[in-house]
Amino acid sequence: MSADRRRFLISCSAMAVAPIWTVAHAQHNPQREALLREITGGVEVRIGRVVVDTPPLADNGHSVPLRVVVDSPMTATDHVRRITVLAERNPRPVVASYRLGPHSGRAEITTRIRLADIQDVVAVAELSDGNWWMGSAHVIVTELACLEG
Amino acid sequence: MIPANAAANALRWPSAVDCGVRKLLVSFCGLLLAVNAVAAEPPRPQPKSGLSYAGADVRALQADDFGNPGMLWVARGEKLWNIPTGRSGKSCASCHREAPASMKGVAARYPRIDAGDKTLLNIEGRINQCRERHQEAGALAYESEELLALTAYAAHQSRHLPVQAEINEANRAHFERGRETYYRRQGQMNLACTHCHERNAGRKLLADTISEGHGNAYPVYRLEWQSAGSLHRRLRACYFGVRAEQPAAGSAELVDLELYLASRARGLPVETPGVRR
Amino acid sequence: MSMLARIQVPAQARRGDIIPIRIAIQHPMETGYRPDNFGRRITKNVINTLTCRYNGVEVFRAEMGSGVSANPQLQFYVRADSSGEFVFDWVDDSGERGSERAALAVSG
């Protein structure tokens, strides 16, 4: 319990300095770097162009609403090929991968995901020019009082 | 009408409210007098749906008829409604035709006394009675996908209509037993329904806000369950929460309690399928 | 019982419109971490792939894991360019398949 509480307090204070923290975290997170390498094949991932929209406080970790929007004109020559959603503190960090193309018209997906813990939800997007971009959002998952046995 | 030991119980409520106990006792005596005076239920403030205690995401999910996952059970119920079952070769629709017309307002009046054998039936009980008597099919297990789907589909036809459970001579004994259960302390926690859902509704229990405990949105899709579930599943979870022995889903104790809850919820709109945390 | 799904595709659109497509499927999306009533792990079983074809051309594909919520739902977009049919196909880890289709009339 106390470890949870500490984590909760740490993430609360981290939220206060979120912009700096996110960048710093992205630069010095070996697990994330390894995951990203696996997904991109080692291509550098830049921060930006990807917006991850989740409530900062999730009602229940079993079902957290998620919307990912990538800034792209979605034309034949300039579009998003793929969006991959990561939740590093889940037992299986790769949540889902979506293939898009010029037919999509808009690079946006909405779904609901499971989060095993308080964490950053990261989305990385592969563009038609071969570049990778990423965005993230911090989500606090609260505990329910009346759990069923 | 309120159990005789209710006032004494108030004295055992945690010490944090000691200063309020005298006031509580006074108001309780007032309530008892009022009850005796009219020999009926005490007047209640307008009930508040559990939805009003839910967060923005849950409220939005329930309001979205496509996103509301409970609608998957409603859709399955609609399919089942039209499939012939049992030796009779009849479907629900063979007798009840179009559910949007025939089932409109029905769930809002349940639980009801069966005209035939005088038992108190909730919607699940009525569906199973229909299956056995008219379709000559076996009863469905409580909490089975089929029974949940048919219950959700039938109750959904009353959505937005007010709960209007009527207490009359035929069902009064059930109502009294349900009320007795509602005010009876039980389990290792030694708590009754009233302690959370009446006296502390609106207050926090860990990250939850305690609701008034109404059943007007059931079957609901509960994020915790990752599924739709019945009112009795939820009630059994409450029994578990206070570490009490759980009555079986569909048991007389829970159907009587369901009737009492319906009388408490009178006026609230049916929300089936609701969404909860 | 077969997998039940609901889809939402506008019945009509104008050429060039970007239309929202929604799909919801009744499926437990078993993580493989959940115990049954006897304490045994329930085998992982999730809808791992879902595709959407528009007049035969794949316009969307989702590859999903156990981090996707039970009774998965998705909204994505498609540019309407001609009248025709959307076909949705999906499969879970146990090999069970599901399919739905919807028609779209495009004007202009």
By residue range, what is the domain housing residue A113? 2-141
In what order do the strands lie in the sheet containing C73-79?
A50-53, A64-70, A108-113, C73-79, C18-25, C5-8
Chain B contact present for C4, CB below 8 A? yes
Compare all CA atoms of chain A with the CA of B237 and give the residue at the minimum distance.
A148
Give pLDDT, residue A142.
87
Give the other-Cβ count within 10 Å of C53's Cβ. Answer: 17
By residue range, what is the domain housing residue C79? 5-107
> Does residue A89 form part of some domain?
yes
Tell me the average pLDDT across A102-122: 97
* Structural domains of chain B sorted by starting position, each given as residue range(s) with its CATH number in brackets: 1-43 (no CATH), 49-61+164-276 (1.10.760.10), 71-156 (1.10.760.10)
Please list the residues that pair with C17 across neighbouring strands: none
pLDDT digits (tens, 9 = 90+) for B37-47: 444 555 667 99
Please list the residues that pair with A141 across neighbouring strands: A58
Tell me the average pLDDT across A60-85: 97
Give pLDDT, residue B21.
40
Q: Does residue A23 register a pLDDT over 80? A: no
> Does residue A8 form part of some domain?
yes
Contact across the interface for B72 and C70, Cβ inside 8 Å: no
> Does residue A146 form part of some domain?
no
Q: Closest to A60 (Cβ–Cβ): which among B56, B224, B241?
A: B224
Q: Does residue C101 register a pLDDT over 50? A: yes
Based on the structure, what is the number of domains in chain C? Answer: 1
* Residue of B68, B224, B233 to mutate, interface with A, max A Cβ within 10 Å: B224
Model confidence at A79, in pLDDT bands (50, 70, 90)?
very high
The DSSP symbol for A117 reads S
Give pLDDT, residue A147.
76
Give the other-Cβ count within 10 Å of B180's Cβ. Answer: 17
pLDDT digits (tens, 9 = 90+) for C3-61: 899 999 999 999 999 999 999 999 999 999 999 889 999 999 999 999 999 999 999 99
Compare all CA atoms of chain B with the CA of C73 and give the residue at the minimum distance.
B67
CATH of the domain at A100: 2.60.40.2470
B151, B123 contact by CB (below 8 A): yes
Higher pLDDT, B143 or B10: B143
Q: Does residue B270 register a pLDDT over 80? A: yes
CATH of the domain at C21: 2.60.40.10
Rounded to whole angstroms, the Cα distance separating B45 from A39 reads 58
- Dihedral (CA of B246, B252, B256, B261) sign: positive
C86, C52 contact by CB (below 8 A): yes
| Neighbouring residues of A79: CB distance < 8 A, sequence distance ≥ 6 | A72, A73, A100, A101, A102, A104, A107, A127, A128
Rounded to whole angstroms, the Cα distance separating B236 from B257 reads 12
Pick the range with the lowest mean pLDDT from A15-24, A52-61, C63-72.
A15-24
pLDDT digits (tens, 9 = 90+) for C61-87: 999 999 999 999 999 999 999 999 999
Give pLDDT, residue B190.
98
Please give, rounded to a whole number of angstroms, the shortest distance from the CA of C19 to a CA of chain A: 8
Give pLDDT, residue B2.
43
Could you say which residues from 24 to 63 on chain C have a Cβ atom under 8 Å away from some Cβ of chain B?
Answer: 24-26, 28-29
Q: Does residue B20 register a pLDDT over 70? A: no
Q: Residue A59 phi/psi, 5° resolution?
A: -65, -35
Chain A contact present for B245, CB below 8 A? no
Tell me the average pLDDT across A14-39: 66
ipTM of predicted complex:
0.95
Model confidence at B13, in pLDDT bands (50, 70, 90)?
very low
Pairing label, strands C73-79, C18-25: antiparallel
Length of chain B: 277
Please give, rounded to a whole number of angstroms, the shortest distance from the CA of B146 to a CA of chain C: 9
* Residue of B59, B191, B223, B233 to mutate, interface with A, max A Cβ within 10 Å: B223
- Distance from the first to the final alpha carbon of chain C: 42
Chain A contact present for B21, CB below 8 A? no
Give chain C positions within 8 Å (CB) of A101: 59
Q: Does residue A25 register a pLDDT over 70? A: no
Chain C contact present for A105, CB below 8 A? yes
Rounded to whole angstroms, the Cα distance separating A81 from A98 reads 8
Q: Does residue B36 register a pLDDT over 90? A: no
Based on the structure, what is the number of domains in chain A? Answer: 1
Tell me the average pLDDT across A98-108: 97
The three-state (H, E, C) secondary structure of chain B, written as one string: CCCCCHHHHHHCCCHHHHHHHHHHHHHHHHHHHHHHHHCCCCCCCCCCCHHHHCCHHHHHHHHCCCCCCHHHHHHHHHHHHCCCECCCCECHHHHHCCHHHHCCCCHHHCCEECCCCCCEECHHHHHHHHHHHHHCCCCCCCCCHHHHHHHHHHHHCCECCECCCCCCCCCHHHHHHHHHHHHCCECCCCECHHHHHCCCCCCEECCEECCCCCCCCCCEEECCCCEEECHHHHHHHHHHHCCCCCCCCCCHHHHHHHHHHHHHCCCCEECCCEEEC
Higher pLDDT, B33 or C91: C91
pTM for the model: 0.87
Against chain B, the chains showing at least 3 CB pairs within 8 Å are: A, C
Contact across the interface for A143 and B54, Cβ inside 8 Å: no
Tell me the average pLDDT across B188-211: 95
Q: Does residue A21 register a pLDDT over 90? A: no
Select from C42, C58, C55 the least CA-distant residue to C85: C55
Tell me which residues of B are annotated as active site.
Answer: 238
Q: Closest to C60 (Cβ–Cβ): which among A91, A94, A99?
A: A99
Rounded to whole angstroms, the Cα distance separating C45 from C52 reads 21
